[in-house]
Copies of this chain bind each other. A is one copy, B any other.
Amino acid sequence: MTKGAATRDRIIQRAERIAGLEGLDGITFGVLAAELAMSKSGLFAHFGSREGLQLAVLLRAVDRFHADVLYPGLRARSGEPRLRSLVHRWLAWERTREARGGDLLSAAAFEFDDRPGIVRDCLVTSQRRWLATLAVACTIAIEAGHFRAGIDAEAWVREAHGVILAHRVAQRLLGDAQADRRAAAAMDELFARSREVAHKPRRRRAA
């Protein structure tokens, strides 16, 4: 059970890159076979169906997300530092556009929002869990006194989510060269605004 798993890995890895650029629906056995110098059928046998391949790619992406974002982020000190760590890693993940487009997940969120199936279900589950995790972290930050009392944790998470999504559009579609910096600034602003301190007149920070 070693050889098969290895090539399966190679396949998924390659497919992940395609999906990052063209979307999960851009994955086809034909081009994948050509890129990997394999036969379509040999490729097919590993997944049983196209949907199986898409699902495998999605699950792999989720695993990577956990490894790169969730787990390292959780190691930070509980409360606001942990939330900040999680969110900034999220942003960094989203930013990773080189080669294997790192943002397969949020792209799929738009691609599959109206297309029933296992892929969508899996995507919904993972997204829900991730956002819920962030909401918990936010709640802890509030209870720890790092954040102002009265903050709606779920609204906070939606706001962070919005920053992520807007960043992606700015960077990839609109070609804003400073999208990274601006998104980070927006995220910082969100944190600053949430802190439990006196309400002095705020000054803007962006250039």
**Chain A: residues with CB nearer than 8 A to chain B?**
21-23, 25, 101, 106-107, 109-115, 120, 123-124, 127-128, 131, 150-152, 154-155, 158-159, 161-166, 168-170, 172-175, 182, 185-186, 189, 193, 199-204, 206
What residues of chain B lie closer than 8 Å to A203, measured between beta carbons? 150
Quick one: copies of this chain in the complex?
A: 2
Distance in angstroms from A155 CB to nearest chain B CB is 5
Main secondary structure of the interface of A (DSSP, over half): helix
Complex formed: what's the CA distance from A111 to B113 in Å? 12
Contact B155 A185 (CB under 8 A): yes
Known: A158-B166, A159-B166, A206-B155. Is A127-B173 also a contact (CB below 8 A)? yes
Determine if B23 and A111 form an interchain contact, defined as CB atoms under 8 angstroms apart.
Answer: yes
A110 touches B111 (CB 8 A): yes
In contact, A173 and B124 (Cβ under 8 angstroms): yes
Closest to A193 in B: B193
CA separation between A168 and B106, bound complex, in Å? 12
How distant is the Cα of A107 from the Cα of B25 in the complex, in angstroms? 14
